Amino acid sequence: MRKMMLVGLSVLLFGSWTWSFAGQNNQDLPRVVRSISLTGQTQQIPETKLFTPEKDGLFRISVYLVPTATDGQNFVGFDVLYTDETGPEYLSFFTQAFEVGCSTQQSPYACYWTAIIRAKGELPVSYLVSVCQGCKVLTYDMFATVEKLQ
C-alpha cells in the first residue's frame, strides 16, 4: 500500500511539473513585439524596418490609420513587407480619406486592419505608408502593434 501511494504521489508530482514546464513555452504568447504611434503625419513613410524575428514565427499586425485633415479626395495606404517559406511577400491596406476621422465604409476602406503573417527568422519585416500623389491637404495618424503568436 505504501509503495502504491509513493508511486501515485510521484506520478502526480511529475505530471504537475511537466504540465507547468510545457505551459511555460507559450505562457508569454501572444506578446507585443513592436508598437508605433505616429501623429500629425503629412508625408509618405518610406520602407522602414518594423522588426526582425529571431526565428520563424506567426505574427499578428494591427493597424489604425485615420485622416485628421483632408480636402476630400485622398487615401492613405499601409503595406507590410516580409519573407515567408515561399519568398518575399507583401500585404496592403488602404483607407479612404474623404472625411476626417475613421471611415464609415466597410472593408476594404475602413481605418483599421489586422493581418497574420508567417515570417522567416533573421529577415526583416518592414512597412511603408503611402498617400495619394498631388493631395492638397492630408494629415493622418498611424498606430500599429505587432504581436508574436507562435
All domains in the chain, ordered by first residue: 29-148 (2.60.120.1120)
Q: What's the grid cell of residue 56? A: 520563424
Q: What is the chain's Cα-based Rg?
A: 23
Distance separating the N- and C-terminal Cα atoms of the chain: 45
Task: Quote the pTM value.
Answer: 0.77
Element (H, E) at 31: strand 31-41
pLDDT tens for each residue of the chain, 150 residues long: 555 544 454 544 444 444 444 445 667 889 999 999 999 999 999 999 999 999 999 999 999 999 999 888 788 999 999 999 999 999 999 888 888 888 766 656 788 899 999 999 999 999 999 998 777 778 999 999 999 999
Host H or E run for residue 141: strand 138-148
* Residue 33 φ/ψ, nearest 5 degrees: -95, -35
